[in-house]
Amino acid sequence: MSTDRQAEMDGYAVREDIQFNCDISDGRGHDLYSMCTMVLKLRNLYKWEKGIEPWEEPEPSDLLEWIDAREQYWQTIVDKPYRSLSLDGVDYSPDDVAAINDKLRDAGLVYGSGYGRSMKAVFFLAERIEQRSVCGCRVIIMGKQRAKEMASPFAMAQQGIVYIHKENLRYFLWDQIQELRSCNRAAFRHAMALHGVIKDGKLEQALLKTKFDAIVEEEMDLFIYHEVGEILQTTLDSAMLERIITTFPASVIELVCRSLKDILADTHPRGLLYHLISERREASLSLYVGLLDGMRKELFPEIFEACKNFSGGADWSAISQAQEKCRKRSLALAHKIREIGATIGEDSDDHVLQRFNTSIIAPLGLDVPQ
């Protein structure tokens, strides 16, 4: 194999184009986030770009200068089209994931393309570590990323395949663990105690660094089984979700639908909670409860009552009952959403919005947009 051919198959020839597409996506979609969230995402993107570990913090002045330069760069590319990807003399559309991965397989690389929050485009190129089969679903575990955008999902399901980004997961979990110092997250703290990094009621940073990668490895099932549940649950499928979000992007409707889809995945008979209950994974269950926030927390109140006495060990029958109760209610809500979503394109958007507000948003106790 020639040097040029080897370089191409190693991903160097396409990495720049994939990163360019990531940058365009960020330029077009960064305003989806609050200022605080955007800065946090850019901070971790900066760490990745500079090869900085999750526990290492950049100089504030360096980070702010980099963010300013990045925002100026976005302005120069935001209106440009996404680039096609050239491999072995053939140009591929950025969304032709299967064909591109066929070309990159021998180089041990994985390419991905899809959509995230409010249909923001997501692209990545990463090194393949291993492949598993979980509940009949193909799971690809990836390590170092060669190209990424600011959303940087650590787990995602696309076309029936689960992708786990260990590098992104490391950044995410580290940040979440650090919030123990400022937030009252008893369940999350209990998970860290079970992992042996809480001493005398305090998070031991040096010990955490030593054990961190082992914790990431041990808790990976938490995210694998969530994505498997996403694939297996079909009540609120991706096509319907995309239809709703495309019509009502960045709305409370999107928030409810995405959160409900997550809960349906977690409570699926072969999803995350079933796995945690059957394996008696108390640390993982504590971590799961500690990570529930926002609308997902509102949709699954039973789990907090069932897990309130973590210090005495989890009552697994109570967890199972909470799962079943939540799933029954969530399925009923999802059927209502599907019924309303099916009228998109047939009724006016205003009428569909009114039905969502009356039948879904208001009964949840949420403020109906005026």
Q: Which of 47, 44, 158, 51 has its CA nearest to residue 100?
A: 158
How far, in Å, CA of 285 to CA of 273, rounded? 8
- Provide φ and ψ at 142, rounded to 5°: -120, 150
Within a domain: 182: no
Q: 63: which 2 tokens? A: 């980070």
Residue 297 has pLDDT above 90, yes or no: yes
Q: 358: which 2 tokens? A: 């009356």
> What is the predicted pLDDT for the residue at 34?
84
Within a domain: 246: yes
Residue 55 has pLDDT above 50, yes or no: yes
pTM of this prediction exceeds 0.75: yes
The DSSP string of 145-195 is: EEE--TT--SEEEETTEEEEEHHHHHHHHHHHHHGGGTS--HHHHHHHHHT
Q: 121: which 2 tokens? A: 């485009």
Q: Where are the alpha helices (DSSP H) in 250-315?
A: 252-266, 272-279, 282-291, 294-299, 302-306
> What is the predicted pLDDT for the residue at 279?
94
| Boundary (domain end) residue, out of 132, 149, 168 | 168
- 90: β partners: 87
Query: Do 122 and 238 fall within a single domain?
Result: no
Query: Do 120 and 50 fall within a single domain?
Result: yes
CB 112 within 8 A of CB 163: yes
- Residue 289: CB atoms within 10 A of its CB come to 24
Within a domain: 100: yes
How far, in Å, CA of 283 to CA of 287, rounded? 6
Give first-to-last CA distance, the chain, whole Å: 64
Looking at every residue in the chain, the average pLDDT score rounds to 90
Lowest mean pLDDT among 157-166, 193-202, 301-310, 321-330: 301-310
CB 170 within 8 A of CB 242: no
User: Over the stretch 205-245, which tens digit does the pLDDT of each residue have?
Assistant: 999 999 999 999 999 999 999 999 999 999 998 889 999 99
Domain count, the chain: 2
Residue 162 has pLDDT above 50, yes or no: yes
Query: Do 156 and 235 fall within a single domain?
Result: no
Residue 183 has pLDDT above 90, yes or no: no
User: Over the stretch 248-274, which tens digit does the pLDDT of each residue have?
Assistant: 988 999 999 999 999 999 999 999 999
Within a domain: 208: no
Within a domain: 269: yes
Within a domain: 249: yes
Query: Do 116 and 32 fall within a single domain?
Result: yes
Domain that holds residue 116: 3-168
CB 23 within 8 A of CB 77: yes
